[in-house]
Every structure is written in C-alpha cells, then in structure tokens.
Amino acid sequence: MEDPVAHLWRGTVALRIVTFLFALGNVLVQRDDYEREWLAWSAVGAMVLWSAFTVHAYSRESGRRPWVVVADLLVACGLMSLSPLIMTDSQFLFNVPLITTIWAAGPPVAAGALGGQVAGALSGFAVGLSTYLNRAGLTVDLVRDVVLLTAAGFVVGMASTTARRSAVRLAQALRTEAATAERERLARSIHDGVLQVLARVRKRGSELGGEAAELAELAGEQEVALRSLVAAAPTESTVDGDADLRPALQLLATPRVQVSTPATQVMLPAATAFELTAVVREALSNVDKHAGADARAWVLLEDLGEEVVLSIRDDGPGIPDGRLASAEAEGRMGVAQSIRGRVEALRGTLELQTGPGEGTEWEVRVYR
C-alpha cells in the first residue's frame, strides 16, 4: 500500500528543486557584490549535493526517515550560517537574501510530512530563528518569514496527519465491508442448511412431546444462538487499540436474553470493551442461578457520546435487602469482584435497583 502522504513528499521534492534554482539565480545576480564569492559558490555546490541526496531519499519510502529530516534541517541552517562570511554589510543593510534564501524552506515541509503539525511547526521556527541569528536584527520582513515558515510546517503537518487518519479509516471500512460480505455469504449458507434443520427439529420435537420436547427446546436455544452469531456485527478495531462493544454483547443473546445495541459502532478501548462484556456475562450468570428457569433478561447498550451506559434487567424475584452483603461476608465474591470490582477499575459508576418481586436492574456508566 502506498504511503498515504506520498503526494506531500512529491511536493517536497518539487519544492526542493524549485527553491534551489531560485537560490542559484540569487547567487548569479549577487555574485559580484559578495565579499567572498568563492565561498558562495562552495555553498551552492553543497546545496547541489544535498539537494540531490534529499530528492533521492524523499522519493523513496525507505528514505523518509527522521534522521534524514533532522540532517536536512541542520544542513540548511549550517549553510545559512555562512551568509555573514559571504555577504557584505551593505547587502545586509539592503536586505539582500541570505545565501540559502527560500531553499531553507524545505526542512519544515519535510518535517511536517513526516512528523505532523508539531514537528513541522518546530522545524519552521528553527529555520526562522536561524534566519534571525544570521541577520542579527529584528525587522517586519523577518517576523513575516518566521511566521510563514512556522505556518507552512504546521499546515503541511496537519495535512499529513489528516491523510494518515483517512487512510486508516478507509482501510478499516474496507475490512468491515469485506467481513460483512463474508458474514452475509455464510449466513445464507447456514440459513439454507443448519438453521433449517434446527427449526425442523424444534418443530417436530414439540409435536412429539416427551423427551423429544426437551431436544426441541435445546434445538430452539441453539437456533437462536446461531442466529445471534450470524446477525452480530463484525468485530471492529482500530490501530489505537479500540474495539466495537456491540458484537460481544450481541453474542450473549439467547431465547431468554434480549440484547439491544445502537445501529452504529460503540468504540471503546479494547480492555474496556472486554471488561464490560465480562460484567454483562456475570450479571446474566446470576440471572440463571438465582432468578429461576423462566426468568427473562434484557441488555441495553446506549452510547451517549461522553459516556456509555449498559443496563442489565431481569424479571426475576429480585434481591432481598442485605443479601449481597451477606453473600460477600460468606466469601461469595461474584457481585463484589466480577461486577462492582470491574466497574470501579474502569472508573465507572454502578447502580442497582431491585426489591422483592421487582426483578433486578444493573446500570453501568463508563466515561470515555
């Protein structure tokens, strides 16, 4: 895959060539007035060699390295520092361009393309500071040059950062599209085979009754679980280690558990998504153990922007007052560690609403 900022590097190469030609023209015009013309031509020779090296390096992805950009900045500032030895006092007085002139604008652009807006802005400021030190005076033109160099590095860096992020999002979207297409293909295959068989077993077993009815119930549970697996959104993650919370929750759906999630991704740090899924799994496990065989549960995921809210509710008999405290005192730490401990580790909040005959509802809030 091509470097997403390759176009910026091509622009950097073009800028290096054009600015060198400008610097060469400046020396040709000013050569007779220089105090040391031989040193001016030596500086031009160094600029030719360094321009050839950077053009070759920046034209290849393997050559776009931090040390090359740092060396580019040092070479530009070093050649610029020869200006007081080359130029006369009258040339400084009449604001004649330094020996490097706009050729020195290359490093801020390269730094921005490689390291983003901060690197570009700092490089531009460094070139501007070198210009000030060599001119030994502060003028409006000098301030303008410093602002332009810093802004150029910043803008190119911002474009570089945006291009890289866009490339990541595009690759992510293509992966999601491919995963969705494959999932749809598998869903059609499963629907035409396994799901139809399970549905047939469930229906026929219910008609026969007895032990066949038990098999029908198990087949029905597996049918729902398989449908949930097929319908679940593809697992999504980013280069920053974020993950979509929805797929893991959708896989918890059963004939007794209904899971509702937003239509759009709910991206969280992968560790946070894992812990929240574990919280829901533990809450549903408690429903199985304590709410009765006929109890139903509902899981609701809400994305409120700055926070994510998870609600796990059941229609069981509820938790009697003091039951959780006594269970913890007896050493049964399911709620204390698996639910409350996880939520506290995520710096979230946990609220319990329950009572005899009122069912149980856990509400978990985690801030992004």
184-197 pLDDT, tens digit per residue, is: 676 666 655 666 67
Asked if 148 and 265 sit in the same domain, the reply is no
Q: Please count the CA atoms within 13 angstroms of the CA of 68 that sit on its side-chain side.
A: 22
**What is the total count of domains within the chain?**
2
Do residues 13 and 110 both lie within one domain? yes
Identify which has the larger pLDDT, 299 or 326.
Answer: 299
Residue 214 lies in a domain: no
299 pLDDT tier (thresholds 50, 70, 90): very high
Structure confidence at residue 333 (pLDDT): 47
Residue 320, domain member (yes or no): yes
Q: What pLDDT, on the 0 to 100 scale, is given for residue 194?
A: 67
Domain boundary among 137, 168, 199: 168
Q: Span 257-283, mean pLDDT?
A: 89
Share of the chain above pLDDT 90, in %: 43
Close Cβ partners of 259 (under 8 Å, ≥ 6 residues apart): 228, 249, 250, 252, 253, 298, 299, 301
- What is the Cβ-side half-sphere exposure of residue 98, based on CA atoms within 13 angstroms? 27
Give how far the C-alpha of residue 368 lies from the chain's centroid of Cα atoms, to the nearest Å. Answer: 14
Tell me the residue ranges of DSSP E strands in the chain. Answer: 242-244, 257-260, 267-269, 297-303, 307-314, 349-354, 360-367
Same domain, 14 and 160: yes
Crossing angle between the packed helical segments 106-115 and 117-135, to the nearest 10 degrees = 160
Q: Is residue 230 part of a domain?
A: no
Q: Is residue 62 part of a domain?
A: yes
In this structure, the answer to whether residues 151 and 274 fall within a common structural domain is no
Q: Is residue 223 part of a domain?
A: no
Phi, psi of 238 (to 5 degrees): -125, 170
Encode pLDDT of 201-220 as tens digits: 777 777 777 777 777 777 77
In the predicted structure, residue 236 carries a pLDDT above the cut 70: no
CATH number at residue 276: 3.30.565.10
Res 58: pLDDT = 93
Within a domain: 361:
yes
User: What pTM was computed for the model?
Assistant: 0.57
| Bridge partners, 314 (sequence order) | 297, 360
> Do 31 and 160 fall into the same domain?
yes
Asked whether residue 212 is assigned to any structural domain, the reply reads no
Looking at the fold, whether 130 and 277 belong to one and the same domain comes out as no
Question: Does 330 have pLDDT greater than 60?
Answer: no
- Domain extent at residue 334: 235-368
Q: Which of 136, 168, 200 is the last residue of a domain?
A: 168
Q: Which structure tokens are listed for 177?
A: 């599209």
| Mean pLDDT (whole number) for 91-112 | 91
pLDDT, residue 108, reads 95
Q: Are residues 66 and 141 in the same domain?
A: yes
83: Cβ contacts below 8 Å, ≥ 6 apart: 98, 99, 100, 134
pLDDT score of 102? 92
- Measured distance CA(261)–CA(299) in Å, rounded: 8
pLDDT digits (tens, 9 = 90+) for 138-158: 788 788 888 999 999 999 999
Q: Helices 140-190 and 117-135 meet at what angle, rounded to 10? A: 170
Confidence of residue 314 (pLDDT cuts 50, 70, 90): very high
Judge if 360 and 241 occupy the same domain: yes
pLDDT score for 293? 74
User: What share of the chain in percent tops pLDDT 70?
Assistant: 85
Please give the residue that has the higher pLDDT: either 233 or 100: 100
Shared-domain flag, residues 149 and 288: no
Judged against a pLDDT cut of 70, whether residue 263 lies above it is answered with: yes
Q: Residues 156, 18: one domain?
A: yes
Last residue of a domain, one of 168, 189, 208: 168
- Asked if 245 and 264 count as a contact pair (C-beta separation under 8 A), the reply is no
